[in-house]
Structure 1
Amino acid sequence: MYVIIVGCGNIGASLAKIMQEEHNVVIIDKKSENFSKLGRGFNGISIEGNGLDLEVLKEAGIEKADAVIATTGHDNTNIALAQISKKIFNVPKAIARISDPEKAEVYRMLGVDLISSTSLIAALIRDKIIEKRFSTYILENSKLTT
């Protein structure tokens, strides 16, 4: 797969390192210093720029992308990027990380696939507290269930 990740914070960098093992990865971030989180072994492409800039997205190869994942710290940016990816560039899979789960339903109505890091972390902490040893998480319709 050809994957574009926008946002090289902790989540974006971790995802890029995992995905590069079996996929072609491009990561975009406004701040070049954030690419240091990728480490020396990163074999993907790093692009400094605004992930909402159509020229930056074209430079990243969005026309051939199989997936775009928006992992910035800004819900609205991530939602906009997912919509641009799907509606303008017809990317088959566009996923937006959101931190405010209360907005999730509105975003789902816009046709955006979401991952709520807040809900996911809360579920993991809950399971750790009640010491569930074997938890299976199912992500369906952007809702995490066990």
Structure 2
Amino acid sequence: MRILIVGGGKVGTYLAKALLEERHEVCVVESDPRRVHEMANILERDVALLGDGCRPDVLERAGIDRADVLVADTGDDEDNLAVVLIARKRERRPRIIARVNNPKNEAIFESVGTDTVIPATEIVLRAIAQEIDVERIAPLITLRKGNLALLKLSVPERSPARGSAISEIGLPHDCVIVALERDGELLIPSGETIVATGDTMVILAKPEARGQLRDNLIGSHG
């Protein structure tokens, strides 16, 4: 199957990696040269096209007219909507999957003919809401083949990461904090977000990274 992904962030990169392992033909359109370089290192192959995925000519170069599936996976709903609208007008229309970052925009994506709408915030909220009464770092979901897991972690008072920015806490390489719940509010963190006691994190990582995550975020007192 030919799959075109617009958006080469960590989610898009991990998605491309999983699809390549399933022997699909994948192309990722990304506008940031740094991310294109990082993707080549992680995937160990050149599947990224540098360009603006909101432009029809760039999508044509990426093979939109041969794609079976198109995934609009940027962190900006306006960009994702532009990609959807371009794809809908193609003579050979692929199946369209779109990530929606703001739940208020979900109806808009559905109204323009998106085949599958993925409300990122709602998925994370459901994950956080699950009752898991085991250890402080617990698996929520293990993805296909066990290569990646969605983990839930609560930051204790004596965490070595407390008061540090996420970019400074030494996360494992193949790891990303996709959401953070603080005082009842759901946040999408950045590298500058400061870790606080009581934070509940949802982390996408390889299962074997749990030990390092425990050391860096919980410490020996956890």
Q: What TM-score results when the alignment is normalised by the length of structure 1?
A: 0.81
Of 101, 123, 130, the residue aligned with 1:99 is 101
| Higher alpha-carbon deviation: 67-76 or 83-92 | 83-92
Classify the secondary structure of the residue corresponding to 2:16: helix
> Residues 67-146 of structure 1 correspond to what in structure 2 (within 5 A)?
67-112=69-114, 113-127=116-130, 130-131=131-132
Distance 2:46 2:40 in 1: 10
Q: What TM-score results when the alignment is normalised by the length of structure 2?
A: 0.55
The CA deviation at 1:102 is 1.6
Distance 2:10 2:42 in 1: 16
Distance 1:70 1:62 in 2: 12
> Unaligned stretches of 5+ in structure 2?
134-138, 142-222
2:40 and 2:46 in contact (8 A); partners too:
no
The superposition leaves residues 46-78 of structure 1 with CA deviations (integer Å, 9 ceiling, x where unpaired) of: 110000111111111111100110111110110
1:4 and 1:62 in contact (8 A); partners too:
yes
1:20 and 1:43 in contact (8 A); partners too:
no
Distance 1:89 1:33 in 2: 33
Q: Could you say if the C-alpha distance between residues 40 and 134 of structure 1 is closer, same or farther in structure 2, counting changes exceeding 3 Å?
A: closer
2:31 and 2:52 in contact (8 A); partners too:
yes
Of 49, 66, 69, the residue aligned with 2:51 is 49
Report which of the two has the higher share of helix. Answer: 1
> Unaligned stretches of 5+ in structure 1?
136-146
Instruction: Name the structure, 1 or 2, with higher relative contact order (CA <8 Å, separation 6+).
Output: 1
The CA deviation at 1:37 is 3.9
2:77 and 2:101 in contact (8 A); partners too:
yes
1:14 and 1:38 in contact (8 A); partners too:
no
Aligned residues between the structures:
133
Of 38, 57, 60, the residue aligned with 1:58 is 60
2:40 and 2:48 in contact (8 A); partners too:
no
1:3 and 1:66 in contact (8 A); partners too:
yes
Q: Provide the alpha-carbon RMSD of the alignment.
A: 2.1
Q: Could you say if the C-alpha distance between residues 38 and 91 of structure 1 is closer, same or farther in structure 2, counting changes exceeding 3 Å?
A: farther
Larger Cα-atom Rg: 2
Specify the code of the residue in structure 2 equivalent to 1:19: L
1:13 and 1:38 in contact (8 A); partners too:
no
